[in-house]
Amino acid sequence: MKVTDRQKRVFIAVDVLLILMMVLPIVAAITLKVLTTPASDGVSITGARIFFTIPMPLQDLPITESQINSFLVLISIFGLCLYMTHGLKVKANLRRQHIAEWIVEKVETMVNESMGDYFKGYAPFITSILALSAFSSLLSLFGLYPPTSDLNIVAGWAILVFGLITYYKLKSGPLKYLKGFLEPVPFLAPMNIIGEFATPLSMSFRHYGNVLSGTVISALLASALQGLSRMVLGWLPDALASIPVFQIGIPAVLSIYFDVFSGCLQAYIFAMLTMMYVSGGFSLEDYLLRKEKREKRKAKNKKSKINDNLEVV
């Protein structure tokens, strides 16, 4: 099969479109941020800014920066994954294919090692948690509001994980699950129930708190450095004194820790905890035992029904 010029051109055009799909959401978010941020000097630590509010039952839905940013990140990740899988070949000749294969195999091994064979299908889910969390946190590198520093976003993921944990616990035996609350002694049941709900709570607060604290410390430090440079350069004329000398460079070093390292680490921790909790709440032996019992009962029912029919006849 010979690659014609036309095919090559189409390939490159699709590539460009996909790269645009990756980059444009970030650019759009930055533009939105620049256009809507009011000029302010002071340190203000607040939640996400609300663009508009949609009235909804129970509670109004405010469309905030975090909502929009997380959606843009979603589109960006989708573009990235389309870009990486564009032009896959058996004889790989593109670096992006190597990266895509590396990601897929790495996550699959990780899932296999920490969850076991039964949860093989969890690899895409873990990848999506890793990607969404890491890229959301990394948005702060562009000066954007990281969606992971909004409790609602992380809570949504934690609740989904909680649902999965409970589903697998129930799958390996509902009675056992309920009985588990009464152990080791029945009057500890309230504690156990609190402990059950503490899982998603701790997961979401850990992630959200880490990212938010990074932002807070960065903001505090930036203003402190500004004050310091004003103090040191105070004797100079006004035009020179207002140059924040110490704000150049130093925040970048801290940003490496708080934005890059902490963001990736929290994503990893969240994914790890998800794997551990989901696979930890599930006992394959109990599940298989239950399945066997159920099938036996079914077979018995069928037999007795046939017997009834025979008697009727």
Partner 1 sequence: MQTLDVISVNIWQILISLINLVLLFLLLKKFLYKPVKKILQKRKDELDAQYQAAADAEAIAQEHRQEWEAKLLTAEDTASEILQNATENAKRHGDRLVADAQEKAEGIIRVAQNEAELERRKATEDIKREIVEVSGALTEKMLGREINTQDHHALIESFIENIGEEDGGNN
Q: Which residues here bind partner 1, judged by CB under 8 A?
A: 36, 38, 45-51, 56, 58-59, 61-62, 64, 66-67, 70-71, 74, 77-78, 81-82, 84-85, 88-90, 92, 97, 100-101, 103-105, 123-125, 127-129, 131-132, 147, 150-157, 159-160, 212
Q: Which of 147, 9, 7 is nearest to 72 (CA)?
A: 147
Residue 67 CB: number of other CB atoms within 10 A? 18
Q: Among residues 221 and 271, whose Cβ is nearest to partner 1?
A: 271
Minimum CB–partner distance for residue 10 and partner 1 (Å) = 18
Q: Among residues 150 and 259, whose Cβ is nearest to partner 1?
A: 150
- Which residues, including other chains, have CB under 8 Å from residue 273's CB and lie 6 or more apart? 161, 203
Minimum CB–partner distance for residue 277 and partner 1 (Å) = 16
At residue 172, φ and ψ (nearest 5 deg) are: -90, 15
Q: Among residues 212 and 275, whose Cβ is nearest to partner 1?
A: 212
At residue 61, φ and ψ (nearest 5 deg) are: -100, 110
- Say whether 242 sits in a helix, a strand or coil: coil
Q: Which residues of 275-302 are buried (b: 16+ CB within 10 A; e: fewer)?
A: bebbbebbbeeeeeebeeeeeeeeeeee
Q: Among residues 67 and 210, whose Cβ is nearest to partner 1?
A: 67
- 32: part of which helix (H) or strand (E)? helix 5-36
Q: Among residues 67 and 279, whose Cβ is nearest to partner 1?
A: 67
Rg value, the chain, Cα = 27
Residue 261 CB: number of other CB atoms within 10 A? 12
Question: Residue 290's Cα: distance from chain center in Å?
Answer: 34
Rounded-to-integer distance, Cα 85 and Cα 96, Å: 8
Minimum CB–partner distance for residue 29 and partner 1 (Å) = 15
Minimum CB–partner distance for residue 58 and partner 1 (Å) = 6
Minimum CB–partner distance for residue 96 and partner 1 (Å) = 11
Minimum CB–partner distance for residue 46 and partner 1 (Å) = 4
Minimum CB–partner distance for residue 51 and partner 1 (Å) = 8
Rounded-to-integer distance, Cα 148 and Cα 151, Å: 7
Q: Among residues 147 and 229, whose Cβ is nearest to partner 1?
A: 147
Q: Among residues 26 and 131, whose Cβ is nearest to partner 1?
A: 131
Minimum CB–partner distance for residue 251 and partner 1 (Å) = 21
Q: Which of 59, 61, 60, 74 is nearest to 29 (CA)?
A: 74
Residue 155 CB: number of other CB atoms within 10 A? 18
Q: Among residues 192 and 218, whose Cβ is nearest to partner 1?
A: 218
